Amino acid sequence: MLQKCLKIQIYVAIITFLIVALLKQKLKPSNSNYQILQILSVTLINKLNINQLF
């Protein structure tokens, strides 16, 4: 059970990193990866266009 949970956590971290990398590549914001993750976590429940956030 613990190994399965650990695999899920690793997959989620990899997917999140890849999403942030794609956002940085497409939008070219001057923010760091950490700042992008903070913005996304705060605005996760709001339905905004991604271009409005950066």
Query: What's the pLDDT at 7?
Result: 95
> Looking at residue 45, what DSSP letter applies?
T
- Encode pLDDT of 17-54 as tens digits: 898 888 888 878 788 888 888 888 877 777 777 777 77
CA 16 remoteness from chain centre: 5
The Cα–Cα gap between 54 and 44 comes to 14
> Looking at residue 46, what DSSP letter applies?
S
Alpha helices by DSSP H, the chain? 2-27, 33-42, 50-53
Q: Are 24 and 33 in contact (CB under 8 A)?
A: yes
